[in-house]
Amino acid sequence: MSYAATAGPRYDNAMTPADRAQRLHRALNYPYDWPGACYLYREGAAHPVDSRRGRRQARTPVLAYGSNRAPEQLARKFGPLSDAQAILVETCSLEGFDVVHSAHVTSYGAIPAALHPAPGVTVTVAVTWLSETQLEIMDRSESAGLNYGREHIGVDVVLADGTVIGHAEGYRTTHGPLEIDGAVVSHADVPAAGRRGPVLRNPELLRRAHAAFAAEVELEAFLLRLGRDRDYRMEITRRLRRGL
């Protein structure tokens, strides 16, 4: 019997239908909807930007290339936020990097995004302008030192209004990029120019992982167990690090 075959009803019997649906949503719909343009996150939702320059003051620019660009995820991490605490989220372009998939599974069962050097590629991502307190919250949410490490990116980031910043920070995966047949897989939900390799979405990779590691159970049971069983999640992460 494989490691995956022990997944069973005990991982979903105690769930309400709403809880089950929410867990599956978080696993399958990562990196979640975002406006695709600059916005101000406050009161739990995206709002039009009033003053970009004022909202950047005394804040650290941090790249958001996966779920951290989505209002839904910011709400989970920061709550509603007042106007004074509001987070400016700006679209930007980054040369020489691509957004790919990290070779690990999150605590909610998704295969998350990762920033990866890619000569010739220009990727469109976002910058979140965070206060010191918000940086601490973001570090904890990213399992800084375990799954990701925050560091200076070291290249210029061009914001949507043409402003160039050279001091942006970002989270880099500690697990390395996910590979399929030796090729790094780009993230289909993040636009980029100049890509040459395979491009897939998170649910496509989850279905591949299910087929490779847990075909003897249903996909939903596999996903629910990933989100509730840390040891199992770590085992699947170890296998992902070897590639799909």
Inform me whether the pLDDT recorded for 51 exceeds 90.
Answer: no
- Three-class DSSP category at 225: helix
The CATH number covering residue 168 comes to 3.10.490.10
Q: For the ranges 4-18, 43-57, 92-106, 165-179, which has the lowest average pLDDT? A: 4-18
Task: Phi first, then psi: give them for residue 210, nearest 5 degrees.
Answer: -60, -45
Question: For the chain, how many structural domains are there in total?
Answer: 1
**Strands 186-187 and 199-200, bridge-based pairing:** parallel
Domain assignment of residue 181, given as a range: 4-240
CA nearest 33: which of 215, 189, 237?
A: 189
What does the pLDDT look like over 155-212, one tens digit per residue? 999 999 999 999 999 999 999 999 999 999 999 999 999 999 999 999 999 999 999 9
